[in-house]
A and B are shown apart, each in its own frame.
Chain A
Amino acid sequence: MNSAGDVAPDAFQDALIAARLCAIDPELGGIVLRGGGELRDAVIAELRTGLPTSAPVRRLPSHIDDERLLGGIDLTATLAQGKRVTRAGLFAEADGGIIIVPMAERLSDATVGRITAVMDAGTAATERDGVAARYGARFLTVAFDDGIEPEERAPAALIERVAFWIDLTASRALSLHGGDWALDPPATEALLAIQRFYGGTPAVQAPDEIVSALATTAAALGIDSARAPLFALRAARASARLAGRTTVADEDVLLAARLVLAPRATRLPMAPAEPEADSTPPPPQDSDAGEDENGEQAPLEDLVLAAALASLPKDVLARIAAGTVRRGRPNNVRGAGARQKSGVRGRPMGARAGMPGGGQRLSLIDTLRSAAPWQKLRGTDGRIAVRRDDLRVRRFETRAEALTIFAVDASGSSALARLAEAKGAVELLLAEAYVKRAQVALIAFRGTLAEVLLPPTRSLARARRSLAELPGGGGTPLAAGLNAARELAEAARARGQTPFIVVLTDGRANIAADGGSVRAAAEADAKEAAKAIGTAGIAAAFVDISARPRPEGAALAAAMRARYLPLPRADATTMHAAVSAAQRA
């Protein structure tokens, strides 16, 4: 049924197939669609045709609050009826249908945690505001990933739980009319096939060698999660069912390998399976994982692996080549950090008078308590009369979270030894930030550009790793480094965090903002960038790590309105002490 013969299948077609498979077996979890614009609507439409017409569809916006998500007390009804009335949340409402998550790359970790818990359990547990309830909540998740940068992706914990990851950004259908890409046979016939196989028919059989072929392929591609081969097996069964088979055939397995396993690959097999066209070298990672795929392989396993390899998405290949694929991308490799909303969470601080809404939650008990003394005066008959001035909302104390941004000069002029000391100091500061539960971010600048090696995170493991991987050498694009630091700091401030920039450099800028290597322009640009930080009023410290500090460093620090810390011979410990003293000041 798929057009695997003549042309390489387009991502859009894959997405439509994935939608059909999901409709057949909702346990496949759903689909993550990266990019794709209007094509995504076609995918949703395809999915809906496969589900009963009554199947609910809900959108889950990234700013959703717990009350709406998990359900809780229905305030209006509770007050009107004088008894507790509960309301189901979005998860429960979507039971048996679809949840669409637009801008999935911007979901907060907290929301992701709630979604994944429900996906795992198939039920939504509400333990909120005096309500303890459990609702059935089985749904398909279709996440739209609108990230542009390679590291802006839908959260790993979420996509782990859906079978299909499809990148529509390069789909040929984008430039055509989606309609020209309809699947063959058309939807109605496919649906008839589904109907035929839903009721009464025995489950689709999967021979043992198919099961082991999928497990073997997953292992060979460096896919560690046990969910991946399970999804692949389900997808193969669904594909067989769609085609009207009662036993999984080779083509079903190949399809599953292509759609489920290939996008999850974290490495190319080391055994001489199918040499890739551009012979990407296997990345040097996971030394503990290399021994298992040398065993004798049945022909089917070779086929499945080859199918997966032939359809490795381009970005997966690029990431493998760059060695940046790790087992599962961490959750917070995304633009947005932790949300800080003082009306929503944090340490409760009691209640105050005010209207609920806009993120402020009603404190029911306090409201009722404030209404109680007036009941007689208001002359009510058993019903509680609550007036506007009785309303109380909850208050929470959230400490503004600190974010320390390290902008580290990794150029050739910062001699390697100095760089090592700087790394040491950053590590110590990281350790301190960890204890205080502050976030850290790391920017390195060298060659012609600055790179955010580590977006704001609290994970020490990741910080340590990206620091260890920090290479040295090349020119000093100081302006680029400072600008990157400022942008990160401003974004953090917009989220309610308190940023603090620590620049570690020798101050010898020689690459201008446009990448040119005219020294004068480079210095002027650096000064400009420093001034921008000063004007923005972002707290900063400027650590001059050159062996013989010169006036340029001090001048830059002054432009930034930063503490100037010339530390020519300081070791990591001294550097750390000086910077943390500056941060406290």
Chain B
Amino acid sequence: MSFPFSAIVGQDEMKLALLIAAVDARIGGVMVFGDRGTGKSTAVRALAALLPSVPAAHAGYQDGTARKGQVPVPFVDLPLGATEDRVVGALDLERALGSGIKAFEPGLLARANGGFLYIDEVNLLEDHIVDLLLDVAASGENVVEREGLSIRHPARFVLVGSGNPEEGELRPQLLDRFGLSVEVRTPQDLTQRVEILKRCDAFERDPAAFTEIWRRSQRKTQNRIAHGRAMLSGVTIPDAVLAYASRLCMAVGADGLRGELTLMRSARALAALDGVENVGTVHVRQVAPLALRHRLRRNVLDETGSTARIERALEELAA
């Protein structure tokens, strides 16, 4: 049983990013950076409990046969130390040894299809696994050519990573894959800290009772996600807002089109979450740090944080 998402104290930015990713999978996932003990993985795992169900034909391993009905959104943990064959899938050993049948045993990428793939301590992930992920995340398809197998299957998933920058930086190519990036800090407000302690303690002592208390609030969040998903395709972005987003990207020097695209998509997802049919500049402003902070043309040694640069640009645009 995971800690209820709605019971997480503070950390609004992280929660917002996760909700946006839950509404629109095309945003490209969320990377959560933060100090130890800030509730990074608690929040990510909590999200799993809020996800609505999806058609079985779009989730999990698709071997070509038609699937009916609804299944919960897949939420797959990629543990450190996972080997390549388990990530991409490989020859089914049991059947190969037992009855000499050449069969494909789907891996974690197949299971995550249509859902979320979560990697805790993503900066400790081995390079060759990262390469695999980058390739599949870009194409949305997993191609297996090994052990005499030749298989391809859809593997579209929302990549969610968390890590502590003190333990090693993330490869720029991988960082770029994440649509949104969040930096979490420990709240310095004392009442918040007391509240965190109380809620964690209550949850640890009696998870069932605690979850029960938060059930209504959880359901509200769940509905918000479901409504957001349903509304998403109907949300429009006025030209003026598009122009504003482009000006913002230019002003901060965000590299590439991906930043602009992510900015627009996440603004749209936010509007959908808020139940608004037209995206406004207010939405763009709210998601700008999330969508852009890891895409600024990096002077890796610049002391001014990316967030500060974006905020400055926002102020200048407003003036």
Contacts and interface: CB of A to CB of B under 8 A. Distances in A.
Interface string A183-196: 00000000000000
B124 A110 contact: yes
Contact of B190 (A132, A156, A219, A461): A219
26 contacts: A27-B204, A82-B97, A114-B80, A114-B81, A117-B120, A127-B108, A128-B81, A128-B82, A130-B90, A130-B93, A156-B36, A215-B193, A215-B197, A226-B37, A226-B200, A229-B197, A288-B188, A328-B35, A346-B126, A348-B84, A365-B90, A365-B93, A435-B172, A458-B169, A460-B169, A461-B165
The 5 A-B residue pairs whose C-beta atoms are closest, nearest first, are: A225-B37, A127-B82, A224-B186, A127-B86, A113-B124
B91 interface: yes
B96 interface: yes
A566 to B, nearest CB: 26
Interface string B157-175: 0000000111111011000
Contacts of B185: 224
A510 interface: no
B300 interface: yes
B319 interface: no
Contact of B205 (A203, A226, A435): A203
A84 interface: yes
A292 B188 contact: yes
A218 interface: yes
Interface in A317-332: 327-328, 330-332
A345 interface: yes
Nearest to B164: A157
A118 to B, nearest CB: 9
A116 B167 CA distance: 13
A295 interface: yes
A348 B127 CA distance: 11
B121 interface: yes
Find the residue from A157, A215, A435 having the highest chain B CB count within 10 A: A215
Interface residues of B, number: 60
Contact of A431 (B189, B197, B301): B301
Nearest to B76: A127
Nearest to A72: B83
B212 interface: no
Interface string B87-100: 10011111011100
A289 B185 CA distance: 11
Given A83-B98, A116-B121, A328-B36, A293 B77 contact: no
Given A226-B193, A364-B93, 6 more contacts: A117-B120, A215-B193, A215-B196, A230-B197, A430-B301, A431-B300
B297 interface: no
B240 interface: no
Contact of A70 (B81, B131, B172): B81
Contacts, number: 186
Contact of A224 (B37, B41, B78, B205): B37
A24 B155 CA distance: 46
A212 B81 contact: no
A69 B81 contact: yes
A130 B165 contact: no
Nearest to B171: A437
A230 B167 contact: no
A344 B165 CA distance: 25
A110 B188 CA distance: 31
Interface of A: 27, 66, 69-70, 73, 78, 82-84, 109-110, 113-114, 116-117, 120, 125-132, 156-157, 160, 203, 206, 208, 211-212, 214-216, 218-219, 224-230, 233, 288-289, 291-293, 295, 327-328, 330-332, 345-348, 364-365, 368-369, 384, 427-428, 430-431, 434-435, 437, 458-462, 464
Given A66-B81, A292-B189, A464-B301, A368 B97 contact: yes
B300 to A, nearest CB: 5
Which of B41, B85, B91: most chain A Cβ within 10 A? B85
Contacts of A224: 35, 37-38, 185-186
Nearest to A365: B147
Contacts of A78: 93, 97
Nearest to A463: B301
B68 interface: no
B166 A230 contact: no
B233 to A, nearest CB: 36
Nearest to A428: B301
A295 B193 CA distance: 14
B105 interface: yes
A375 to B, nearest CB: 10
B82 A347 contact: no
A317 to B, nearest CB: 22
Given A84-B94, A328-B35, A462-B166, A127 B87 contact: yes
Nearest to A366: B147
A109 B168 contact: yes
A464 B303 CA distance: 9
B194 interface: yes
B39 interface: yes
A230 B300 CA distance: 36
A84 B90 CA distance: 14
A160 B36 CA distance: 8
B256 interface: no
A459 B197 contact: no
B87 to A, nearest CB: 7
Contacts of B128: 345-348
Nearest to B77: A125
A434 B200 contact: no
Given A346-B128, A368-B97, A225 B36 contact: yes
A69 B41 CA distance: 22
